[in-house]
Structures are given as C-alpha cells and as structure tokens.
Amino acid sequence: MASTEGSAAEYRTYREKRLRDRVRRWRKMWRIYYGSRYGKIGFWLLIGFAVMTLLSPILTFHDPYTFIAPREDSWSATQELGAQLPYSAVVNGMPLEPTAVPITSAGSYVVYTTTADGNVSAVGLGATPSTAAGEIFHVFSPNWAAGSTVFAASVFALANYTTFQSAFSFDYSEYLLEGATHANSSTIDFAPIHWSGPQGPGDGSPSAYDAETLTIPGTLVAPPVSSSTATSIIPSWGPFAQSSAYTSGGLKAAYVYTVTRSASGFNLSEFYAMPLQWVWSVHLTGTAVPEAPQYLGSYYAPPAGTEDTAVLVAQGSTLSSYNPGNGKLRWAENLSAPILPDVGIVVPFLDQDSFSAADVLFLGLAGSPGSVVDANLTSGAITTVTTVPGGVDGVATSGDAGYPTYVCVVSPTTVYMLNGPKAVANSADGLGLPQGSGTYETDPLYDQNSNLMIVSTSTGLSIAINAALGTDPIQWKLAPNPLPSAISPPLLVYNALKGGLAVAFVTSGSILDLYSTVGTDDNPLPPEFHTPSGNIYVFGTNSAGNDVWSQFVASFVWDWEIGLAVAAGIILVSVLVAMFIGYVGNWAAAVVETLTLVLFLLPGLALLIVVASIVGASFVNTLLVLTFVSWPFTAITLIGVVRQIKSRTFIEAARVSGASTVQILRRHMLPNMTPLLAYFTALSIGGAATAFSTLQFLGIAQLTIPTWGGMLQPMLDNFYFALEAPWWIWPPTIALTMFVFAFVFVSRGMDEVVNPRLRAR
C-alpha cells in the first residue's frame, strides 16, 4: 500500500516537474521570440488585427455587399453651366429669378437674367457657335427713374398673327416683360426679342428693341405677368402678340396684367401687349397685399374664348376669378386661412392647355398644421386635399388631365406625394427631407420626362423624388459647392445643347447655375460624414456603391478564417505526408514523394487558377484548392526534418524499448517539430489570405465573401481607381499587406527561436 502511494506521489512529482520544464522552456522561447525585432513587430500587428476582428460586428455599419448607397447620396445632377455674371443680380439679399422659354423644338439657347438695376442679359448655353456656353449678351436697358424698385423680367413665347393669317401656321418669338415702380407710379416694358443672325433663334445675338413702354398710376406690388405662362415646351396653340388678333380675328391676343397699390387700395389691370394699352381695371376690396395674378387658359385652342379663361388673384384668405374680357368678378371664395405667398396659385400645366369643367387649382394655406386645398376653376368650390402637421412650404402637381395624378406637398421636414385628396398626409405618402442646408421655400419643379418632383432649399440643395415614391424614391441630389447663402426660385429649362431638361437658378454670388435633370452615378464616393440620407461613409464607397468601411471591417473576420482554415489543412496534410515519407520510407513513400515534388515544381498561380476553374468557385471548394496547391512546399521541408529526427539516438532507443510507430511519431517526432510547425503555420495563414485574395481579384473565387483582396476586384477593369478613389483602394491594400507582413515577422521571430544562429548577438 505504501509502495502504491509512493509510486503515485512520484508520478505526480514527475508530471509537475515536466510541466515546470515545459513552462520554463516556453518562457525561454517567448523571451527569445519577443527579443527579436521582427517577432515583436509581428506580435503587436497580430494583436491589432485580432482586436479589430473581435470588434468588427460593432464597427460594421452596413451589410458589406447587400448595402448600396442610396441615390440621394450617390447620384447627382450634372452641372452643365456655372456662369459668373458680370453684374449684381441680387435685390434686398435675394437673387432675381432667371427666365427662359423655347421657341423651337430644339429648346432654349440662352437663359435671361435681370440685373439689380433692371438691365436684362442673356447667358449662352453652348448649343450653337453664336451662343457659346457662359457668353453674356446684353439684351435690354430700361429707361427708368433712378431709385426704382426692380422686378425680375420674364420671357415667354407669343405667336405672330401676320404669319398665321398668311400661312395658317404658328411662328413663335420670344417676348420680354419687365416692370419697376418709383414714387407713386410704375413703368412696364414689353418688347420682342430679335436674333441678329439670318437663321433666327440661336444664330447671332439676342436683343430687345421696339419696346412698348407704359407708365401707370400706383406702385407695383408684384411683377407684371403675361397671359402666356412660362413653359419648358412649345405649346400647340398660344396667344398672338398683336392685339389685332382679337379685335379683327376673334382669336386670343396677348395680355399683360398688373397689381398696383394706390391711395384707395389695390387695383388689378389688364393691358393689350402690342400695342401696350389699357383695357380695364378693377378695384380689389381686400386689405392684404395681393400676389401676382395667374392667367388661366394660356394655350386653349379655339373655339375656347374668354368665358373659359380667367384671371385669378390670391389676396390674403380670398381667392377671386375675373373675366379677362371685361374684368368682371366671376366668383370669390373666402378660405379658412391666409393663402401662403410663397406657394401662390398652382394651376396644373394641362389645365392651361385645354378646358374642362372639372379642372382645379391648388393653394397652400398658412398654419400649423397647414393645409392644401383645391378650387374648381369654373365654380370656385373649395375642397381640402390634405392637412400637413408641420405646415406647408410648397405645392406642385404632375399636371395630368382631370384630377392630377400626383400632388406634391412640401413641409419643413417631409415631402408628401398624394394621388387624389386625402384628409391627412401620412407616413405612407411621405419622405423625410435632408436637413441642415436651408429651408424649403419654393414650389417643387415637375420633370414630366422622368416623372420627378425636384425639391430645393434656399441654399440650392435639391433632390429629385420619384412622384410614385416606390422602393428607391430619391433619384439624385444637386448640391452647389460651396452652397450659396441664397438662390433665386429655380427654373426648368429645355436646354438646346443637351436636348433635355435642366434646373437653372441664380445664386447670391450672382452665378447662373444650370444642372441637368438626368442624374449620374457618383460612385465611388469619397469619405463623407454628413450625407442627405444620414449615412456615414468612413472610407467612402466603391464603384458599385458598397460601403468600403463595412467591407473593410468585415474582411478582418473572413481573412482570419480563410488563413486559419487553409493553414490547418496545409499543416495536417504536410505532417502526415512528411511522416509517411520521412519515417516509413518504403516504395509507396517514394511514389508519394515523387508526386509531392511534381506538384511543388508546377507553377503555383497557374495551377491554382486551373484547379479553381475546374472545381468551381464555392467557398469550400476554394479553400480545398488552396490547401491542395500549397501543402507540397511545407511537406518537402518537413520530410528532411523528419529524416533528421529519425536518425537521432532517442528514436532508436524508443524503437528498441518497444514503442510503436504511432507512439514514436506522436511522442517524439511531433513535439520536436512543433516550433517549425508554428513557423509554417504563420507563413501559411498569410499566404492563404493572399492566395484567396488573388483568386477573388481575378474573379475566380466567390466575390460575395468580403476580403481585402475581393474589395480590389473592380480594379481589374479600371486601374485608374488607384488614383481616382484612393479612399477605397488603399485601405484594403495596406491591410492585406500588413496582414501578410505580420505573419512574416512572426515566422521570422519564431525562426530565431528554432535557429540560434539567426539570433542577434
């Protein structure tokens, strides 16, 4: 009994001593390893990679591959023109609105701008040699009294009655209308715009002469307006410039309307355009300042007469409709709240083109909540379209016949797309608007070509919203750089140069900006921390719109997993093959050794590509291919080590003592190979990550696995990304390089552990 207890105690003592020896040996090897400059650098690099790997679930903002930057971040309107005006176009801190109208199917060749002193200029859009992009043409100089209050000029299309009489065809020309007020009277100027070249519009330079000028009593409270409303397309039937069209032909002549203030109150007046002469005036009974009048029926075709057209006036909380023929009041409606001056009267475009008894206009009403109402154009009957919790900043319609397909309502924080009347604008119809770049003060623009509503802030940030909303409602953004302090109300222009619609506005710096309404993909995006969608892109995006930071962080986990999995396979196969060849050494071992040497001598990359192409690009297949191609190098090195250990005395002693082959390999061979196996494991992890990245870069391995090499795959088709998008290319390049170097340094430090000759003296 005592002998048994003694034997057990001796065995425990032996085990404790063996454990202490192992600990001392490992401490000694660690001191040697950490004393190596390479080993120390490699160790701390691996610690950094390990920490990032553990934190990757927290640091990954988006799914690495399914997330694509939304279009409000990654698509933008292309700037077609940015012309510095040689004069001030700002009055009382607000830029004056530009104006343009197409008079041929090609579109507009220039955009007209108004100076702070009332002069009118044109800015070329580049569609013809005569209208070079950004070239400034002086068009008109009014003869106004000093100190006059200036209103922005408007340009519109009118038909020539003489041509219509002789050829029964429409020949449109541009006409300019401008007004100013001074002391107790006002002046309005009306003039045709002539092009100096023989080819007409777009040839030569534009200028306005033969102007009709009229001084009227009272002061203008709004700019004069024409019965030809602004449009970005040529109408099929428009008013004639000459008043003789009405007096002798019974057709629609062009009118000019003004709202003036006098001692007795406000007056609405109508004038023939050519010659510019008074037709009628009516006194407006309200005390609130009226908005600019709105003419209804600009493009009604005969036999529609004055009974179908109307002059609409918004004044305080009253909406009135007047007969253009004699100025008599047709109807007046008192609303529940004041009409918002920035919204005004919104008449759908097609309701200007043809008459229907069901046609309606839209008004935004003040208040919080605010509301949008429609008014029947024939009877004035009011219907509430919607109430908006945050108030109303803008209203627009798609302009379809009958009740418009879409009514766009803008609040300070949300835009609503309504298909028909609804009691309350709700989240199902709404879309949050980007904040922090000014207020939404103007009505949206409707792009009928793309079914987009373009919503703008006071500083020029604009977003184009699909009128049907859908899964990707925001199509592009427009952001002048730098953002101006203010912009004029934006204008929709049909650009003759591009053959498409564009958004034009004048900035507080007196710059005319023109942007296409066709968005372009901006990916890859640079790093951004403040985006319209609220997303953060630490490393920007790649060409597909994926978040580079999320891919980069997720790659830490996958590169580790790939490296460890392949390294484990390489070491397992190499050890088994090396022990079989080096220790057993029979004819079968010779055959295996020959095959191993053949695989080793084959070109590695070519073999890797061929085998990967044959077996397929699944993740497991790729790991097996990497293991198959990579193990011969390690195995050949280990064969020599096994043979060297086999020749030592303690192996012979173990064999004589009766130890089996398996026992010898497990208890003697494997422990003596451990430092070398750790060395090869370190090399294999880095090599496997590099090899997998190479296959992904070449498009052979599965690209849905986020790795640093896979992030670089688009460079295969465009190496300029290295210069164009360094925020995308360099992080994975540096990370992959440092990952490989980390294991190279670790292996170099471990080499000093097993090879004393390499240690620093």
Coil/strand/helix, residue 371 = strand
Q: What are 379's two structure tokens? A: 């009877």
Phi/psi class of residue 6: alpha, beta or left (left: φ > 0; alpha: ψ in -120 to 50)? alpha
Residue pLDDT, tens place only, 376-395: 998 999 999 999 988 999 99
Q: Which is it for the CA torsion 566, 567, 573, 577, positive or negative? A: positive
Please give the pLDDT value at position 267: 96
Classify burial at 571, counting beta carbons within 10 Å of its beta carbon; exposed 0-12, middle 13-18, buried 19 or more: buried
Coil/strand/helix, residue 274 = strand
Q: What are 140's two structure tokens? A: 């008109």
Per-residue pLDDT at 637 exceeds 50: yes
Per-residue pLDDT at 249 exceeds 80: no
Coil/strand/helix, residue 730 = helix
The whole-number average pLDDT for the span 51-72 is 89
Considering 142-146, 245-249, 600-604, the range whose residues carry the highest mean pLDDT is 142-146
Sequence-distant (≥ 6) Cβ neighbours of residue 464 within 8 angstroms? 77, 447, 450, 452, 453, 454, 474, 475, 476, 477, 478, 517, 519
Show the domains of the chain with their CATH numbers: 71-521 (2.130.10.10), 556-758 (1.10.3720.10)
Residue pLDDT, tens place only, 328-381: 999 999 999 999 988 889 988 878 888 888 888 999 999 989 999 999 998 999
Please give the pLDDT value at position 111: 97
Sequence-distant (≥ 6) Cβ neighbours of residue 333 within 8 angstroms? 318, 319, 320, 375, 380, 381, 382
543 or 674: which leads in pLDDT: 543
Radius of gyration of the chain (CA): 40
Coil/strand/helix, residue 739 = helix
Sequence-distant (≥ 6) Cβ neighbours of residue 4 within 8 angstroms? none
Residue pLDDT, tens place only, 698-717: 777 777 788 888 888 888 77
Residue pLDDT, tens place only, 403-422: 677 899 999 999 999 887 88
DSSP state of 289: P
Could you give the angle at which helices 604-615 and 670-697 cross, rounded to 10 degrees?
70
Confidence band of 188 (pLDDT split at 50, 70, 90): very high
Centre a 10 Å sphere on the Cβ of residue 487 and count the other Cβ atoms it contains: 28
* pTM score of the predicted model: 0.79
Lowest mean per-residue pLDDT among 19-23, 113-117, 414-418 = 19-23
Q: To the nearest whole percent, how much of the chain has pLDDT over 70?
A: 93
What are the DSSP calls for 455-501, one per residue? EE-TTS-EEEEETT--SS-EEEEE--SSPPS-BPPPEEEEETTTTEE
Please give the pLDDT value at position 488: 95
Please give the pLDDT value at position 124: 97
The β-bridge relationship of strands 360-365 and 370-376 is: antiparallel
Residue pLDDT, tens place only, 443-453: 999 998 888 99
Lowest mean per-residue pLDDT among 1-15, 33-47, 300-314 = 1-15
Please give the pLDDT value at position 759: 60
Taking a C-beta distance cutoff of 8 angstroms, is the pair 596, 629 a contact? no
Confidence band of 138 (pLDDT split at 50, 70, 90): very high
Q: Which amino acid is at 645?
A: I
CA distances from 730 to 540, 594, 699, 724, 726 (A): 12, 43, 20, 11, 5
The CA-CA-CA angle for residues 639, 24, 22, to 5°, reads 50
Q: What are 467's two structure tokens? A: 């009128």
Could you give the angle at which helices 37-59 and 548-579 cross, rounded to 10 degrees?
130
What are the DSSP calls for 617-675, one per residue? S-HHHHHHHHHHHHHHHHHHHHHHHHHHHHTSHHHHHHHHTT--HHHHIIIIIHHHHHH
Please give the pLDDT value at position 508: 94
How far, in Å, CA of 398 to CA of 453, rounded? 8
How far, in Å, CA of 566 to CA of 384, rounded? 69
Please give the pLDDT value at position 269: 97
How far, in Å, CA of 535 to CA of 213, rounded? 55
Q: What are 106's two structure tokens? A: 């090609």
Confidence band of 655 (pLDDT split at 50, 70, 90): confident
Backbone φ and ψ for 510, nearest 5 degrees, come out as 55, 45
Q: Write a three-state SS string for 33-76.
A: HHHCHHHHHHHHHHHHHHHHHHHHHHHCCCCCCCCCCCHHHHEE
Confidence band of 242 (pLDDT split at 50, 70, 90): confident
Taking a C-beta distance cutoff of 8 angstroms, is the pair 610, 708 a contact? no
Please give the pLDDT value at position 761: 47
Taking a C-beta distance cutoff of 8 angstroms, is the pair 172, 161 a contact? no
DSSP state of 23: H
Residue pLDDT, tens place only, 472-498: 899 999 989 888 999 999 999 999 999
Pick the closest to residue 670 from 651, 691, 690 (CA basis): 651
Please give the pLDDT value at position 83: 95
Sequence-distant (≥ 6) Cβ neighbours of residue 338 within 8 angstroms? 288, 316, 317, 365, 366
Lowest mean per-residue pLDDT among 67-76, 461-470, 575-584, 747-756 = 747-756
Please give the pLDDT value at position 161: 86
Residue pLDDT, tens place only, 279-315: 999 999 989 999 999 999 888 876 655 678 899 999 9
Please give the pLDDT value at position 342: 85
Coil/strand/helix, residue 352 = helix
**Mean pLDDT, the chain, integer:** 86
Q: To the nearest whole percent, how much of the chain has pLDDT over 90?
A: 41
